[in-house]
Structure 1
Amino acid sequence: METCRLNANHVHIGVPLPGDVYDEHGQLLLSKGQILNSQAQLDHLLERGLYVELRLFEAHFKPSAASPLPVENKFDPFLVRGTMKLSLNRLLRGITDASTSGAQIVEFAEHLEAYVHTDAEAAIAACLLDQQEESRGAAHSLSSAILSALLAKRLNWAKERQRSLACAALTMNLSMMDLQQRLFRQATPLTPVQLEQVHAHPEAALAALQQIGITDPLWLKAVAQHHEAPSGKGYPQHLTETLEDGQLLRIADIFFARASARADRPPLPPAQVIRALFVEEGQGACAPLVATLVKTLGLYPPGSFVKLANSEVAVVFRSGATPQTPVAASVKTASGMPTMQPVRRDTARAGYTVAGAVAPGKVSVGYDLGKLWITDALNS
């Protein structure tokens, strides 16, 4: 049973549920027609996780508007991301049976660009805070495409090149989506068959795109080379001379692969991933791309967690005057208790400076962090 997680925008007090609701393990929590009577009950269930079948979500919870642009001055990047993830999942699966066209992928890339440019920091935060189990392949491709779009824009690449890159990021893993979902739950090392699938997926994706008539050389080459490395230790062709677009995809791919949870390890703090990429790639052919990554995300990207000098734990939600001084919101007190609501902290001020990064898996709060970005968008 393929499911989708509900958030605070989907469930309302006093309104009958349109269908059965389950927990993350598929156990029935609420029956069709049941009514929630209190905010406390709703908050508790949302924290636990509410899931419905995909067909029910699409029929009753999916927004009708396809455009990610704000409506009536409201912009919920987390809700929009959830809708885009479902749409991308369908599009990518449709490529294998030719029910998806290249024009549909290009149109999706256009929506993605509009979404990213509406609020880039909120888009990154939504990527990093999305650790849900469903549609992991689509989630990773969407996140990689968002980061790639931001990096390409900062590099001042031509519009056509940016569009080709976005399409490549969205489709680079289309041939291994089922495997990505299995690996998300698999705590053991890859089997020989799985390893072979991983090494073959760039060329398999390339073939699938050509099968539906994609001829854009930048799009196709970036997909084919997104796991090649200048050292020649990449795959599948072990190239030493590679397309810059493919290397940008590789950097974005690595960033979100390491910043995402897997069964065999929790997500790494984004700051740790950025530092590791700087050490691994910062002196070679990809040095300009890594430098652009640091300039774009800062040391502590929006959606990452940090420990402050006063021992509070906070989530970063806006960049600050310097990479070391982001604007954050405290979500845990110095004693380790969750705050009732996020408390804004300016880390440039004494007492609130960033002491270090905190792994996402070690932070649990009882409210929807996504509201931080909605509120900020409305009050900016």
Structure 2
Amino acid sequence: MRVPLSLDQIELEAPLPLNIWDGSGVLLLRRGEVIRNFEHRELLRSRGPMVDEEEYRQWTFRYTAEIDRKLRGNASLESIASVARPMGLGPDRDEQAVPVHMRWADLHTSLGLLLHQGEQAQDFLRRLGLIRMRIDEVLQSRTDDSLFVLVQMLLDRTLGYSTGHALLCGLLCRIVGKLLLKEPSQIDALINAALTMNIGMTRLQDELALQAEPPSVEQRIRIEQHPLLGERCLQHLGVQDPTWLRLVRLHHTKLHAMGSLEGAEPLLLMAHLISLIDVFVARISPRVSRKGLPSQRAARDAYLAADGQPNPLGAALIKAVGVYIPGSYVRLASEELAVVVRRQRRANEPLVFALVGRSGMPLGEPALRDTSEAAFEIKSGVAADEVRVRVQSAKLLARL
């Protein structure tokens, strides 16, 4: 439950002690961010700021407890009056102890707010930098879990599609980019571009995912213009990295096929890769207007260029994440329907949890299967729309 917050209690330029939301549930500022000045405070005040009731109670308790301590110690009135509300709730929680699905849900909220604010976003570069830092932290040892959670997020129509798409594209660009690029600055630019390439149509992208009819003429114009609009938006927000900006502008441009990765010009390679990953993620994502493709169909399309010849970047993507990306669904030789949870040494032999038995009935407890075993080898991929079993990510990942 959330309660109204008087912003006069918050010091300017001091790290916030708790998250601030508006009345409709949109996160305005994260704990640790700052209200920069009086104008910023008034802008937040106009949104009807709210805070979590329990967090507010903890914060207020620390303030009143300090006053009570001084009263009991017979402190002077001046000393009591000088007590300020503590800006912080004590030591930050151990992020590594927070379940990975909760960490990605938090990142989804943070990035979604930034992308929807667009040109109106304040402190854009600093906030995106914090998001990037937290992404790096969660990926230190949880890459497969992260792929699983982000793919499952894309299948959840209650979540903003555009943000989920951006996060998965960013993660895939990070994984594949580290295999192909030598310079850290190039990898950074690639990830930043993947996270922000659709900032010129974030709200529209969310609407299109829930729209049954084809895009209108006005929507098609916006779709065609969004790379250029995105580049201009990012320039307005202070982005000066020319590689980041060019990748956003080029991510929908049709490029000549790459025959080889050897000696390829880095910018061209990066432009091809971000375009390939953008399309791959879109193809596995279901919309109201169409089903998502099974993972191996999307992987096959990425592997083969338009002329039917192998695409070296598609091969690199499959080598990095497998034919069946964690979070996608497959049918086994045992006739069980399963969800992929772990990549293994062979790209087409992941570790899975069987969800539905050969009888067509959900299993009481998902069963872990190794698809490298003949009895449980993968028979085919399954589109997410064909799965009627609700996956409980936290419970499955806790068993690995």
| TM-fit CA distance, 1:361 | 1.3
Q: Equivalent of 2:126, from 103, 107, 116?
A: 103
Deviation at 1:252, TM superposition (A): 1.3
Q: What is the TM-score with the length of structure 1 in the denominator?
A: 0.76
> Partner of 2:206 in structure 1?
181
Q: Quick one: which of 387, 391, 399 aligns to 1:363?
A: 387
Partner of 2:174: 149
Deviations 1:299-324 (A, max 9, x none): 11111111111101111111233222
5+ residue gaps, structure 2, are: 3-22, 31-50, 56-88, 258-265
Q: Is the 8 A contact 2:337 2:355 kept in 1?
A: yes
Asked if residue 209 in structure 1 is aligned to residue 180 in structure 2, the reply is no
Q: Which residue of 1 aligns with 2:96?
A: 70
Q: What is the SS of the residue equivalent to 2:355?
A: strand
Aligned match of 1:320 in 341, 344, 351? 344
Once the two structures are TM-superposed, the CA of residue 220 in structure 1 deviates from its matched residue by 0.8
> 1:166 and 1:70 mapped to 2: Cα distance?
22
The residue that corresponds to 1:276 in the other structure is: 301
AA aligned to 1:70 is: Q
Counterpart pick for 2:116 among 90, 93, 97: 93
What's the CA shift for 1:98? 4.3
1:119-138 matches, cutoff 5 A? 119-130=142-153, 131-133=155-157, 134-138=159-163
Greater shift after overlay, 91-100 or 217-226? 91-100
Unaligned segments of structure 1, at least 5 residues: 1-17, 20-51, 233-240
Give 1:209 deviation, angstroms: 0.9
- Alpha-carbon contact 1:109-1:163 (below 8 Å) kept: no
Residue in structure 1 matched with residue 25 of structure 2 by the alignment = 54
- Amino acid paired to 2:273: L
Q: In the alignment, which residue of structure 2 is the partner of 1:222? A: 247
Q: Kindly indicate whether the alpha-carbon contact (under 8 Å) linking 2:303 and 2:313 is maintained by their aligned counterparts in 1.
A: no
* Residue identity in the other structure for 2:291: P
2:338 touches 2:353 (CA, 8 Å); kept in 1? yes
CA-CA distance at 1:66 after TM superposition: 8.6
Taking the aligned partners of 2:345 and 2:163, their CA distance within structure 1 comes to 34
Residue equivalent to 2:187: 162
Matching residue of 1:45: none
Deviation per CA, 1:194-225: give whole Å up to 9, x if none.
11101100110100111122111111111111
Quote the residue 2:107 is aligned against.
84
Give the aligned residue type for 1:146: L
> What is the TM-score with the length of structure 2 in the denominator?
0.72
Indicate the RMSD between aligned Cα atoms, in angstroms: 2.9
Confirm or deny: 8 A CA contact 1:67 1:111 kept in the other structure: no
Q: Is the 8 A contact 1:312 1:334 kept in 2?
A: yes
Contact 1:148 1:252 in 2 (8 A): yes
Letter in 1 for 2:111: L
Quote the offset at 1:190 in angstroms.
1.3
SS at match of 1:257: helix
1:247 aligns with 2:218: no
- Cα gap change, 1:67/1:273 in structure 2, threshold over 3 Å: closer, same or farther? farther
Partners of 2:93 and 2:306 in 1: how far apart? 36
In structure 2, what is the Cα distance between the partners aligned to 1:301 and 1:312? 18
How much does 1:60 deviate?
4.0
Change (3 A) 1:97 1:68: farther
Paired residue for 1:291? Answer: 315
Asked whether the equivalents of residues 331 and 365 of structure 1 are also in contact (C-alpha less than 8 Å), the reply is: yes
1:307–1:68 CA distance, 2 compared to 1 (3 A):
farther
Amino acid at match of 1:167: N
> Contact 1:305/1:360 (CA < 8 Å) preserved in 2?
yes
Quote how far apart the aligned CAs of 1:371 are. 2.3
For residues 315 and 62 of structure 1, what CA distance do their matches in structure 2 show? Answer: 36
**Number of aligned pairs?**
316
Local SS of the residue matching 2:303 = helix
Higher-Rg member (1/2): 2
DSSP-derived class of the 2:244 partner: helix
CA distance in structure 1 between the aligned counterparts of 2:305 and 2:175, rounded to whole angstroms = 21
- Any idea what SS the aligned residue of 1:331 has? strand
Look up the match of 1:235: none
Task: Please name the residue that 2:6 is paired with.
Answer: none
- Which deviates further from its counterpart, 194-203 or 117-126? 117-126
Name the counterpart of 1:331.
355
Q: Distance in 1 between matches of 2:152 and 2:54?
A: 20
Report what 1:24 is aligned to: none
Tell which deviates more after alignment, 116-125 or 361-370: 361-370
CA distance in 2, matches of 1:82, 1:266: 24
Determine if the alignment matches structure 1 residue 345 to structure 2 residue 369.
yes
CA distance in 1, matches of 2:318, 2:243: 25
Q: Percent identity?
A: 27
Could you give the per-residue CA deviations for residues 153-191 of structure 1, whole angstroms, max 9, x where no partner exists?
A: 122432222111111111110110111111011111111
> Does structure 2 conserve the Cα–Cα contact (< 8 Å) formed by 1:308 and 1:353?
yes
The structure, 1 or 2, with the larger RCO (C-alpha pairs under 8 Å, 6+ apart) is 1
